[in-house]
Structure 1
Amino acid sequence: MQNTGSALKAVLLFSYTYTMMATTLIMPIMGNLAIEFPNAGTKIPMLISLPSLVMIPAILLSGYISKYVSKKTVLVFGSILYIIGGFGGGLYDNIDFILLMRTIGGLGTGLIFPLVPALIAQLYQGQEVPKMIGWGNATGSIFGVVFATVTGYLAVMDWHYAFYIYLLYIVLLIAQIMILPHVPPEKQDVAMTKDDKNDGLNWLAWVYVLATLVYMVISMVFIVKTAIFIMEANLGNSANAGIASSVVSFTALLLCLVFGQVFKALKRYTAVVGFAATGLCFFCLSIAQNFEMIIVASLFMGVSLATVLPYMMTTITMVVPKNAQTTAVSFVSTAMYIGQFLAAYYIQAVESFVNGVTRAAFSIIAVQVLIIVVISVVFILSTQSQFDKHLNSSKNLNA
C-alpha cells in the first residue's frame, strides 16, 4: 500500500508549480533584460518561447522513459535540470548563456509536466484523483500570483535576484527524494503488466487529445486578443486588461479548489460545461460595449480554464491501461503546447473572414464553440457504453 499521507500530497501539489513558475519568474524582468541587452533583438522574446518549444519533445520523452525508469527518478532528474536552468540564468551576464539556461530549464519542466498527474492517477483512487488535480492547478495559480509580485519587487533591486528564487526548489527536490515512493517502471510494475498486451492509447484517448488541442487553440484567442480588443474598442487601458486577467485567474483558482466536487456532479459533462463557458465568454466579448461586460467574459473564461483542462488530465488516465497513463498524459500535455502554437494561425484565419474586425471574429468563434458543445453532447450520449468499457476499473469514478 502506497503512502498517501499529507506529506506526499504536499510534495505532489507543490510539484504542480514548476510549469507556472517557469514563465512567471521571467515575465516581470523581461523589460530589465531588454535594457540590459539592447542588441539582443528577438532573443529577448525567445526567453519565453524557446523553453516552451523544447518542452514538447521533453514531455513525449518523459512518457516513454517512464516505461523503463521509475517516475520518481525521472521527476528528480527533471527537478535538477529545472533548478540548474533557473538559477543558472542569473550567474552570467550574457543573453546567449541565459537562453541556454532557459533551454535546460525547459527540458526539466517538460520531463516533470506529465509525471505529476500520472503519479496522482497511480497513487490515488476514486474522487481523490480529480480533487488532487484540481488542487494542483490551484496551487500553481497561487504560487504564480505570489511569486510574480515578489519577482517584480526583486527586479527593482537587481534582475539577477529573480533567477535566485529557483534555489527555493532545492527544498522541494529534497522532499521529493525523501517522501515520494519509488514506484517501479511501468514495464516492471506487477499491477500494470496484465495490461501489457494493450499498452497503447485507444481511440477514446485520442479523442481527448484532439479535444485538448482544439480547446487550447480557441482559449488562447482570449489570452492573445482581449487586451488588444479592450484598447481598440476604447473599453479601457492596460490596467483594465490586467484586471480582466486577474478575474480569470481568481475565478479559475476558486473553481480548481472544488474541481473534485464539480467532476463528481457533472461527470462526463464537465468539459461540456467548460466549452459552453468558453462560448459564452466569446459571445460576451462580441457584444461588449463597456468594461463590465469584459469582466463577465473573464468570469466565463475562468470557469472554462478550471474545468476543461483538469477534466482532460483526469479522464484520459481513466480510459487507458495503467501502463499507458503517463504516455496518455504526455500526449495531452503536448496537445496543450501545440495548441498554443497553432492559435496564432487560427486567429489569423478567423480574422481573414471578417477583414480583421476583432468583434466579428469573437462572434464567429462563439458560434464555432456552440457547434462543438452540440457535437460533444451527441458524442457523450452515443459513446457511454464504449466509455464504460474502457474505464480502468481501479480508477472508475462512475463518470
Structure 2
Amino acid sequence: MKIKTGKGSVTLVVLLAIWSVSAIASLPGLAVSPILGDLNKVFPKVTDLEIQMLTSLPSLLIIPFVLLSGKLSEGRDKLKILIVGLSIFFLSGVACLFARSMAWLIVISCILGVGAGMVIPLSTGLIVDYFTGDSRVRQLGYSSAINNLTLVVATAVTGYLAEVNWHLPFLVYTLPGISLALSFFLRRSRSTPEPEQSIQMRHKRIDRGKLVGLMLFYFFATYAVLAIAFYASFLVDDYKISSSFSGVLISLFFLAIMLPGLFIDRIIRALKQNVNLVSLGLVCAGLLCVGIFRDKTMLVVGALLTGFGYGVIQPVIYDKAATIAPPRSATLALSFVMAMNYLAVMICPFIMDMFRHLFHTHSDRFPFFFNAALVFALAAVTWFRRGNFTLGLDESYYKN
C-alpha cells in the first residue's frame, strides 16, 4: 500500500514508523502522575521537594535538548539523532522498572528527559521531510491526533497498572522500543527532496520574525488551555462533585484536542483566514462554560470546546513553522515552536499564582475567567489581523 506525500509516495510501514514517533512524544511524565500519591508510602523518607523534582527536572531537561536536536538536524543525519534519542528514551524506561530508590528514579528520569527531548522535534520534523503541501497539513493533523490519543489511553492504562505495582506504570516508557524497531524502515526509504515550487524553497534561512510570532502564539494558546488540565480538579472538588469526574473531564479535554487533527485540512479549507479566530472563540467559550456552570453537562461541554479549539490551533502552527524555513532548517524551526509547549507547562502555575496574588483572590474559578478574558482580547486582535501570518492565514500560506 502506497501513501501519497505530495512529492511521491511512501509505504504504509514507513508511515507507521513516523506515526509511532508522534505517539511517544507526550509520554514523559506520564508514568509518574498516577503514582505520585503513593510515593510517600513507597519511600517513607521522601520529601515533597524530591517528588516535585521527579516531575519537573525531566521537563526542564526536555527543553534544551529539543532545541539541541533541532540544531543538530541542520547538519547531521536526522535518523541518527532519532535512533540515539529513542535508544536513550527506551533504555531509561527499562531502567525505571528496576529503580529501588527515589534518587535513582530522579536520575533515570532526567536521562529519559534527554532522550525524549531529542525525539520530540523529529515527531513533526519527519513529517515535514516526507510530506509537503496538503499532504503535510493532513499528516500533521494525524500526528497531533495520535499524540493526544496516546496520552489519553496511556494515562488510563498507567492508572490501572499503578494499582497492581508502583513499578508497572513505567512500562509505557518502553514504547520507544517499537519506534526504534520501525526506524529501520525509515533508513531504507529516505525522504524525497522538497519540490522547487514549495514555499520552503523561497527561504534561505528561518524567517525569525514569523518564528517569534508563532512561538508566542503557541505559548499563549497552550498556557490558556492548561487551565483545564491544572485547575479542573480543584473546581470539581469545590462544586462537591465526585473527584473521579475531574479525571473524566481532563480525558475528554485531551480527546477533544485529538479530534480536529483527523480532518484538519478540511477545517482549514472551510475557515481559511478565520481559522485561528474561530479556534480562539471556541477556547474562550469553553473556559467560560467551565468557570460559570456547576452542571456536569456544561463542564463537559466547556472541556470539549476548549480542547477542540486548541486541537485546531496546534497542527496549523506546526505547519506554518515548517513553511518559514528552508527544508534543512524546518526541524530547527519546529523545535523552537514545540519547546514553547513544555515552557508553558512548566511556568503556567507560577503565572496563575502571580495574577491571583495581584487580584487578591484564591477563587477556583479565577483561572478560567482570567484566561477566558485573555483569549477574548487576543481574539479581538485576531479579528482585525486575520490576514496576518501568525494570527490568520496570509496569501503566502494559501499558495503552499
Q: TM-score range by the shorter chain?
A: 0.7 to 0.9
Deviations 1:66-92 (A, max 9, x none): 111111111111000100111111223
CA 381–109 in structure 1, closer or farther in 2 if over 3 Å, else same: same
Q: Secondary structure at the match of 1:356?
A: coil
Aligned twin of 1:256: 261
Deviations 1:266-322 (A, max 9, x none): 234322222211111222233213222211211111212311112111111122222
Would you say the 8 A contact 1:213–1:339 is kept in 2?
yes
Structure 1 gaps, min length 5:
none
Aligned twin of 1:288: 293
Q: Secondary structure at the match of 2:97?
A: coil
Report the alpha carbon displacement of residue 379 of structure 1 after superposing the two structures with TM: 2.2
Stretch moving more, 332-341 or 166-175: 166-175
Report the alpha carbon displacement of residue 154 of structure 1 after superposing the two structures with TM: 3.1
Amino acid at match of 1:231: D
Aligned twin of 1:125: 132
Amino acid at match of 1:221: A
Would you say the 8 A contact 2:152–2:251 is kept in 1?
no
**Superposition pairs for residues 210-229 of structure 1, below 5 Å?**
210-229=216-235
Would you say the 8 A contact 1:212–1:312 is kept in 2?
yes
Aligned twin of 2:318: 313
Report the alpha carbon displacement of residue 397 of structure 1 after superposing the two structures with TM: 5.1
CA distance in 2, matches of 1:340, 1:140: 16
Would you say the 8 A contact 1:216–1:343 is kept in 2?
no
Aligned twin of 1:205: 211
Amino acid at match of 1:330: S
Aligned twin of 1:75: 82
Would you say the 8 A contact 1:4–1:124 is kept in 2?
no
CA distance in 1, matches of 2:219, 2:121: 16
Aligned twin of 1:62: 69
Report the alpha carbon displacement of residue 124 of structure 1 after superposing the two structures with TM: 0.6
Aligned twin of 2:3: none
Report the alpha carbon displacement of residue 180 of structure 1 after superposing the two structures with TM: 4.2
Would you say the 8 A contact 1:195–1:323 is kept in 2?
no
Give 2:272's match in structure 1, choosing from 267, 282, 286. Answer: 267
CA distance in 1, matches of 2:398, 2:80: 29
CA distance in 1, matches of 2:290, 2:228: 9
Stretch moving more, 144-153 or 102-111: 144-153
What TM-score do the two structures reach when normalised by structure 2? 0.87
Would you say the 8 A contact 2:259–2:308 is kept in 1?
no
Amino acid at match of 2:78: K
Structure 2 gaps, min length 5:
1-6
Q: Does 1:84 align with 2:112?
A: no
CA 34–260 in structure 1, closer or farther in 2 if over 3 Å, else same: farther
Deviations 1:19-68 (A, max 9, x none): 32223222223334332112121222322211111000001101110111
Q: Does 1:23 align with 2:51?
A: no
Q: Does 1:39 align with 2:45?
A: yes
Q: Does 1:364 align with 2:351?
A: no
Aligned twin of 1:138: 145
CA distance in 1, matches of 2:178, 2:370: 48
Would you say the 8 A contact 2:24–2:176 is kept in 1?
no
Amino acid at match of 1:89: C
Amino acid at match of 1:20: S
CA 181–376 in structure 1, closer or farther in 2 if over 3 Å, else same: farther
Would you say the 8 A contact 2:61–2:114 is kept in 1?
yes
Would you say the 8 A contact 1:25–1:151 is kept in 2?
yes
Give 1:52's match in structure 2, choosing from 51, 59, 73. Answer: 59
Q: RMSD across aligned C-alpha pairs, in angstroms?
A: 2.8
Report the alpha carbon displacement of residue 145 of structure 1 after superposing the two structures with TM: 3.0
Q: Does 1:303 align with 2:276?
A: no
CA 327–371 in structure 1, closer or farther in 2 if over 3 Å, else same: same
CA distance in 1, matches of 2:292, 2:19: 39
Amino acid at match of 2:75: Y
Q: Secondary structure at the match of 1:4?
A: strand
Number of matched pairs:
388
Stretch moving more, 215-224 or 361-370: 361-370
Stretch moving more, 77-86 or 275-284: 275-284
Give 1:242's match in structure 2, choosing from 239, 247, 250. Answer: 247
Would you say the 8 A contact 1:230–1:236 is kept in 2?
yes
Aligned twin of 1:107: 114
Identity, in percent, stands at 21
CA 250–29 in structure 1, closer or farther in 2 if over 3 Å, else same: same
What TM-score do the two structures reach when normalised by structure 1? 0.88
Stretch moving more, 327-336 or 199-208: 199-208
Q: Secondary structure at the match of 2:74?
A: coil
CA distance in 2, matches of 1:132, 1:294: 31
CA 364–115 in structure 1, closer or farther in 2 if over 3 Å, else same: same
Would you say the 8 A contact 1:221–1:347 is kept in 2?
no
CA distance in 2, matches of 1:9, 1:283: 39
Amino acid at match of 2:85: G
CA 150–226 in structure 1, closer or farther in 2 if over 3 Å, else same: closer
CA distance in 1, matches of 2:60, 2:309: 25
CA distance in 2, matches of 1:167, 1:363: 40
CA distance in 2, matches of 1:179, 1:290: 49
Report the alpha carbon displacement of residue 356 of structure 1 after superposing the two structures with TM: 2.5
Amino acid at match of 1:108: G
Would you say the 8 A contact 1:267–1:398 is kept in 2?
no
